[in-house]
Amino acid sequence: MAVLWLDEISAGDLEKVGGKGASLGELTGAGLPVPPGFVVTADTYRSFIENANIDEELFEVVDVDVDDSSALAAAAERAQELILETPFPEDVREEILEAYREVGDSGEEAFVAVRSSATAEDLPDASFAGQQETYLNITEDDLLDRVRSCWASLFTQRAIYYRQEKGFDHSAVNIAVVVQQMVEAEKSGVMFTSHPSTGDPTMIIEAAWGLGEAVVSGAVSPDNYIVPRDGGDVDVTVAEKKVMHAKDEETGETVESEVPEEKRTARVLSEGEIDRLVELGERVEDHYDTPQDVEWAILEGTVFMLQSRPITTIDEGDADATSATDAGDITAGLTDGSGTQTRAADSAESATEAGTGDVIVDGLGSSPGRVSGAARIVTKLDELDKVGEGDIIVTEMTMPDMVPAMKRAAGIITDEGGMTSHAAIVSRELGVPAIVGTTNATTTLEDGQVVTLDGDKGSVLEGDLVSPEEEAEPVEEVRPQSPVKPMTATEVKVNVSIPEAAERAAATGADGVGLLRTEHMILSLNQTPAKFIEENGEDAYIKELVQGIRGVADEFYPRPVRVRTLDAPTDEFRQLEGGEDEPHEHNPMLGYRGIRRSLDRPDVFAHELEAFRRLYELGYDNVEIMFPLVNDAEDVYRTKRLMTDAGIDPEKRTWGVMIETPASALAVEGMAEAGIDFASFGTNDLTQYTLAVDRNNEHVADRFDELHPSVLRLIADVIETCREHDVDTSICGQAGSKPEMVQFLVNEGVHSISANIDAVRDVQHEVKRVEQKLLLDSVR
């Protein structure tokens, strides 16, 4: 048979259908609503090239010197030409097309995704993720050509190069192709099977029009549905949804567009759809035996499960902290023509009854607590310095650069975003009361206006309504309840941006911290290091660093905590008190930052090193030092001398460098000889410097690709060189949370992978899967 349907496939069919096909088959077999489809088997590909008598020429053509770029290009072109110009055997052609016609609804042409799915023996998918092709929104006219294109993608220059470098026989490579119905979602969103911050036994569903990216990114304020698990009434908040993401019919790309006027304040989900989603949530939770964070989509009334992962911010013991009735008070719905009351009216009535004043703004309570303070309207980053201790940030939506100010603030209010937006997630980590998705806070509130923020009810009231006797209880940090940690040979660590998140990060079961950023500790002082030292003294500055690092080291002990020394660009320093002396740079990312600033200002850098010396003196032998933006061995030798001058023995302590530039990747052997213990990839910088792509420039953002072959080659070369010199390698950049990068790194032999807090468990499971695959391959 040329094809196998997903419901015929299990994990035991890996060699027939490849990794993607086997995974989708498992989910389908578990009864979960996966979009329907089939797999053109790996045997079909093999029969295709053998019956057409192109196999011998194909493998001869690609047996070239891959370091000869012109020969490699010619080989790839000819190999792909052989496959693309060979017609399908009639019986295979008909079987694939017949299967395709059964994918869509009867009488309608289906749009499908055509995805390469490498087999267990297939190196490209296992080691060099992203080499093979995926095609979206394909119809019958192009289907066979796209299947052939997937096969031909086994012989791109990139794929040929890597297989040859790793010594794999091209003739041993097989590939299957998944053909699966596209879900062009009419409505989509996320669902928590328990409350993500309190652990309350309610389901929270967020929904918006179009594809789900708008909800997850915080670009749209979604509808919010609170569903008590005991069968009580559903509380509905209908938000004003200004934008949506959908497929461009001409290009097939995902684009953002305005929501039609009649849909902006229309309720997204019907009662029946809510019931179906609740049923789905319970099935997923039962299957995984733990509360889940589910991404879903609805097309023509059918609900599809697109992704599911454990919720990592709650604890079963915390489930009673907030009653179902309290959860229902988080929001009520806007009038939608079905009799649902408006949020503002509902909240105002409650406020009046309690004698607490008027509601002036309302939204979604994303982090509980009740605080009062002066509203500080922030419309751009250079206004963050006006946010002081006890103020309430009011902004359109938060960004990572706002974290230092968010730590100072008593509360956070945003115009846009839902329960999964940056503001919601960070505020829950910090334990700061927050309201998101108000739509109008920045235009309704005045700068300096004193308000009371109720993060439970989602309302902002006029005046200071928190009496001296009434202390807002801090949000209790709770240890997540997760499945048993997978045992892996490759260590899986966690990135920590703010020390306040250390407890939650440690509870993931990570093997340590792969990146703790000191700049957030320093920027939160709201003064440059020089200014803080001038006003408070050297010892006070050192103690601030010791306290911040110590909090994380305590939480993880004896697991290692890798601390990166200061790496803040000049534009961030310029926003702080004392920043007027910072140089004005055309591109601060290429300027006075990282180790180059530290080496240029050894007097200030000495205070950072003194903090590490004191930590070692206190017994924190799990602290490791990591130096950013190091280019070559000369940087290492100079840094090593300063460590010695500070009383830190480089031979007794663990320390290393970030690999963030092509220069550092090419010079890593010299750095290894200089004595580093580890090299850690910072993929954000490494990618932008390798590809000459500013990752913050919207005009070239689509060219930013951490899986680009040039970036992967640099990483692979560094791992190989470090292995020869007994130097550990790791990744702490954003790409470490991506499954494709995880697959690549494990196959290359990286020592550890550091992921974002909410991705640790997924990365642990992905590492285990790849390691088991390698073990299986080695005994065959």
Catalytic residues: 422, 732
CB-CB contact of 482 with 761 (8 Å): yes
Map tokens 């933006």 to a residue: 629
Kind of pairing between the strands at 450-454 and 370-378: antiparallel
Q: List, as one string, the DSSP characters of 120-183.
A: TT-HHHHHSTT-S-EEEEE-HHHHHHHHHHHHHGGGSHHHHHHHHHHT--GGG--EEEEEEE--
Beta-carbon contacts of residue 316 (< 8 Å; ≥ 6 apart): 199, 481
Structure tokens at 152: 């031909």
CB atoms within 10 A of CB 287: 14
DSSP tag of 509: T
Helix axes 633-645, 602-617, angle to 10 degrees: 60
Tokens of 182: 């596209």
CA atoms within 13 A on the CB side of 567: 21
Per DSSP, the residues of 282-343 read: HHHHHHHTS-EEEEEEEETTEEEEEEEEE--S--GGGTTSS-HHHHHTT--PPP-SSSPPPH
Question: Letter for the amino acid at 185?
Answer: A
- Alpha-carbon torsion (402, 597, 563, 742), positive or negative: positive
Q: What angle do helix axes 709-724 and 683-691 make, rounded to 10 degrees?
A: 120
Peptide bond into 558 cis (omega under 30): yes
> What is the token pair recorded at 691?
């590809």
> Encoding tokens for residue 366?
């994303």
Distance CA 123, CA 187 (A): 38
Q: What phi-psi label fits residue 172: left (phi over 0), alpha (psi between -120 and 50 degrees) or beta?
A: alpha
Neighbours of 32 (CB within 10 A): 15
Report the distance separating Cα 101 and Cα 193, nearest Å.
36
Which long-range contacts (C-beta less than 8 Å, at least 24 apart) are formed by 262-265?
A: 263/209, 264/240, 265/238, 265/240, 265/241, 265/334, 265/336
Q: Tell the burial category of 400 from Cβ atoms under 10 Å away from its Cβ (0-12, 13-18, 19+).
A: exposed
CA distance 194 to 319: 8
Cα separation, 242 vs 222, whole angstroms: 10
Nearest to 627 by CA among 672, 668, 658, 670: 658
CB 392 within 8 A of CB 409: yes
Q: Cα separation of 768 and 759, whole Å? A: 14
Q: How far apart are CA 497 and CA 521, in angstroms?
A: 9
> Which two three-digit tokens encode residue 140?
């019958």
Q: Who contacts 340 (Cβ-Cβ below 8 Å, separation ≥6)?
A: 236, 238, 267, 332, 333, 334
